[in-house]
Amino acid sequence: MITIKNAAQIAKMREAGAMLHDVLTQLKGKIEPGMTTKELDRFAEKLIRSYGAVPSFLNYEGYPASICASVDSQVVHGIPSASTVLKEGQIISIDCGLILDGWQSDSAFTAGVGKISDDAQRLIDVTEESFFAALDFARAGCRISDIGHAVQQYVEQRGFSTVRALCGHGIGREMHEDPQVPNYGIPGHGVRLRSGMTICIEPMIAAGDYHVKTLKDGWTVVTTDGSLCSHYEHTILITDGEPELLSLPGYHKEEKR
């Protein structure tokens, strides 16, 4: 069921998004060689709770942490570990979500550890750019598949591939609500977007092939060919005008981040 949020509910989701943005910004500042993904997870959980919010990933379908920390060829759902020590030249995707007074926010970014190759930086940049290309279709009257089509066009024209096995989603009281928001497809299909809908667009872009598999831990998704993968996500409010990035407060299209 797709839920339309009222002004009071949107205000709460805006607050949750601003909080999550702060958490992710602080996490980004901690990424350096020698840091473990477990330390990043501890830090995130403490910060979220200090704000009076709840980490939404922790215990979600049994997930054991408050963030997902996915390194290099890991696509998403990497489980933080004291034995995962970040090394110069790696890329790490951090995905995090929180619940404030019953309302969810979900966001992810990818960053380099120390100095990274130009190719890795290009993958991160193109992934973010594909999100913003898709955002042009996150408006009332567009169809859900217009978003995925925009992601696919953008990344394939630049020699990358878009992971198909996982997709974005509606969000609200639940982290995952209808509709699903795929990152590929032909335009003009699926649900028509309406003002008051809140969705997560989250391109997962691989340097190689788009096929993925899940490791034996039951969570970690990796590219089958071992190629690097980047992830970028925000919680978005559909309006009658420009979309509002709830997890990127102060964003205006003209300025672009």
| Site residues (vs Co ion, CB under 5 A) | 106, 200, 202
Instruction: Supply the minimum distance, in Å, between the C-beta of residue 32 and Co ion.
Output: 26
Binding mask 99-128 for ligand MF3 (x = CB under 6 A): -------x----------------------
**132 is a contact residue toward ligand MF3 (CB under 6 A):** no
Residues in contact with 225: Cβ distance below 8 Å, sequence separation at least 6, in sequence order? 206, 208, 209, 211
**43 is a contact residue toward ligand MF3 (CB under 6 A):** no
Between 129 and 233, CB nearer to ligand MF3: 233
Distances (CA, A) of 237 to 3, 11, 149, 230: 12, 11, 19, 23
> Sign of dihedral through CA atoms 148, 154, 157, 160?
negative
Between 175 and 187, CB nearer to ligand MF3: 175
Other beta carbons within 10 Å of 78: 26
**63 is a contact residue toward ligand MF3 (CB under 6 A):** yes
**21 is a contact residue toward ligand MF3 (CB under 6 A):** no
Instruction: Supply the minimum distance, in Å, between the C-beta of residue 107 and Co ion.
Output: 8
- Going across the sheet that includes 204-206, the strands are 161-162, 204-206, 229-231
Between 107 and 152, CB nearer to Co ion: 107
**233 is a contact residue toward ligand MF3 (CB under 6 A):** yes
Other beta carbons within 10 Å of 180: 16
Between 61 and 119, CB nearer to Co ion: 61
**15 is a contact residue toward ligand MF3 (CB under 6 A):** no
Beta partners for residue 195, in sequence order: none
Instruction: Supply the minimum distance, in Å, between the C-beta of residue 198 and Co ion.
Output: 12
Instruction: Supply the minimum distance, in Å, between the C-beta of residue 86 and Co ion.
Output: 23
Instruction: Supply the minimum distance, in Å, between the C-beta of residue 112 and ligand MF3.
Output: 21
> Sign of dihedral through CA atoms 172, 254, 206, 33?
negative
Binders of ligand MF3: how many residues, by CB under 6 A?
A: 13
Between 126 and 200, CB nearer to Co ion: 200
If you count them, how many residues does the chain have?
Answer: 257
For 6, the token pair is 């009222």
Between 15 and 177, CB nearer to ligand MF3: 177
- The Cα 184–Cα 107 span in angstroms is 19
**54 is a contact residue toward ligand MF3 (CB under 6 A):** no
Residues in contact with 27: Cβ distance below 8 Å, sequence separation at least 6, in sequence order? 40, 43, 44, 67, 94, 96
Contact footprint for ligand MF3 (CB under 6 A)? 57, 60-61, 63, 68, 77, 95, 97, 106, 169, 200, 202, 233
